[in-house]
């Protein structure tokens, strides 16, 4: 009799715990994707798409801050491969993160994949301790902040935990295929032509790929793969190249003035070198 009472008590506690968990403010429903299920019906594992019901309802609609951002975000909706070029502060990463979060929440994709070349600006910080994802976290933090501002911290943390948002170093991409994914390659001006070719040939079915960068801020001494890729692929069907200008900088007025001063000085220096050469 005591064994039966113990079993009944444990079952009661389990039901109470389930009731408590169901009262969570964030309702997360991992349901099967209706698109191109690659797994047989006998297997329970299927490509997950996420519907963050209550959390998504509380979020503000994603709105571009100017006409240029509106055009960039519209291009992301209608093209497979989108290049976003322009100076710092124009919202290239913000727009890409906003569209990626929206696609994940709506279930249009199964994963967000973020990558960038592991090139540091200025002096190297040296060896970074920890596992691979921990080593790459400093490069992901800015984009993660953009995702959180568009989808909320709870949604993004849960998606990271469940593998619906992944961070992968560019050097480890060879042999992979992007299917039903929103892929962002940031700071692409630091890619070599070989790296960016390898990356672009990973594009699979039902995916959107955004490559963003600023050609004036390259930290590599060789020819930029971003410039090379645009020259080669700009006329390909499904490819769109969007260029932001100084007037599109939304970070702050002082950032716009600083960038214009540096670029103006650089142009004058190039003219001086050509005249003296």
Instruction: Give 12-32 pLDDT, tens digit per residue.
Output: 555 554 443 333 333 333 333
Contacts of 214 (CB under 8 A, 6+ apart): 85, 86, 87, 88, 189
For residues 141-166, give the mean pLDDT. Answer: 89
Mean pLDDT score of the chain: 77
- Global pTM reads 0.73
No. of H helices and E strands in the chain?
9, 8
| pLDDT (0 to 100) of residue 18 | 46
- Within 13 Å of residue 160, how many CA atoms lie on the same side as its CB? 19
Q: Measured at the alpha carbon of residue 220, what is the angle toward residues 252 and 183, in degrees to the nearest 5?
A: 65
Confidence bin at 274 (pLDDT 50/70/90): low
- 3-state SS, residue 273: helix
List, in sequence order, the alpha helices (H) in 2-66.
2-21, 53-58
Helix axis angle, 67-78 relative to 92-106, nearest 10°?
40
CA distances from 52 to 59, 95, 136 (A): 11, 20, 27
Q: Do the beta carbons of residue 238 and residue 249 sit within 8 Å? A: no
Rg, the chain, Cα only: 23
Q: Report the alpha-carbon distance of residue 35 to residue 108 in Å, rounded.
A: 9
Q: Do the beta carbons of residue 250 and residue 91 sit within 8 Å? A: yes
- What letter would DSSP give residue 185? E
Phi/psi region, residue 238 (left: phi>0; alpha: psi -120 to 50; beta: rest), is: left
| pLDDT (0 to 100) of residue 203 | 96
pLDDT for 49 beyond 80: no
For residues 114-139, give the mean pLDDT. Answer: 63
Q: Which CATH class is domain 65-272?
A: alpha beta
């Amino acid at each position: 009799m005591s064994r039966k009472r113990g079993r009944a008590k444990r079952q009661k506690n389990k039901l109470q715990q389930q009731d408590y968990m169901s009262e969570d403010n964030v309702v997360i429903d991992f349901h099967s994707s209706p698109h191109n299920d690659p797994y047989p019906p006998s297997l329970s594992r299927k490509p997950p798409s996420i519907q963050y019901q209550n959390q998504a309802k509380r979020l503000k609609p994603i709105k571009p801050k100017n006409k240029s951002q509106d055009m960039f975000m519209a291009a992301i909706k209608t093209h497979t491969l989108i290049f976003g070029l322009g100076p710092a502060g124009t919202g290239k990463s913000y727009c890409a993160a906003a569209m990626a979060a929206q696609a994940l929440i709506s279930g249009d994709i199964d994963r967000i994949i973020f990558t960038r070349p592991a090139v540091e600006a200025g002096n190297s910080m040296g060896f970074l301790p920890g596992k691979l994802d921990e080593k790459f976290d400093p490069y992901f933090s800015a984009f993660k902040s953009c995702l959180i501002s568009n989808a909320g911290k709870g949604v993004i943390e849960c998606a990271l935990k469940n593998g619906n948002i992944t961070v992968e170093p560019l050097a480890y991409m060879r042999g992979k295929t992007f299917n039903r994914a929103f892929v962002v390659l940031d700071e692409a001006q630091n890619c070599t032509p070989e790296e960016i070719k390898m990356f672009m040939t990973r594009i699979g079915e039902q995916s959107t790929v955004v490559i963003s960068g600023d050609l004036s801020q390259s930290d590599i001494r060789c020819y930029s793969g971003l410039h090379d890729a645009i020259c080669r692929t700009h006329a390909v069907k499904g490819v769109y190249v969007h260029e932001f200008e100084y007037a599109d900088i939304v970070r702050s007025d002082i950032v716009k003035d600083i960038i214009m001063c540096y670029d103006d000085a650089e142009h004058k220096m190039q003219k001086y070198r050509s005249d003296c050469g």
